[in-house]
Amino acid sequence: MFEHYIITDHVVDRYRERVNESCENVKRRIKNDLYFKKIRQIITKGNVKHVFTLNSKEFIFVKERGRWLLKTIIKRTRQRTEYAIQQRKRAVVA
């Protein structure tokens, strides 16, 4: 994707609740979603990066102690994704 990142246990647990798969499969799915050809847009504000993918997911990364940590994954509809991208862009400008 953009740099080395760490997938937190909280994210894996929450994702496993939705898809009901093993921990290794969940991490593999997250890494496949963050493949550079699937990334639609990256919006950076300070030490937070919002990564939007083509399949309407938003990945929120926070830089702590020099490392990027994946904190949250949000699944949206196509229409809500467009709205979220516009909101994140406005927050960066403001």
**Number of structural domains found in the chain:** 1
Q: How many CB atoms within 10 Å of residue 12? A: 17
- Whether the pLDDT of residue 59 is over 80: the answer is yes
The pTM (predicted TM-score) of the whole model is: 0.87
Residue-range definition of the domain harbouring residue 75? 5-93
Written as six digits, the tokens of 88 are: 């994140």
The DSSP element (H or E) to which 1 belongs, if any, is: none
Write out pLDDT tens, residues 84-93: 999 999 988 8
Written as six digits, the tokens of 73 are: 């994954």
What CA–CA distance (Å, rounded) separates 83 from 85? 5
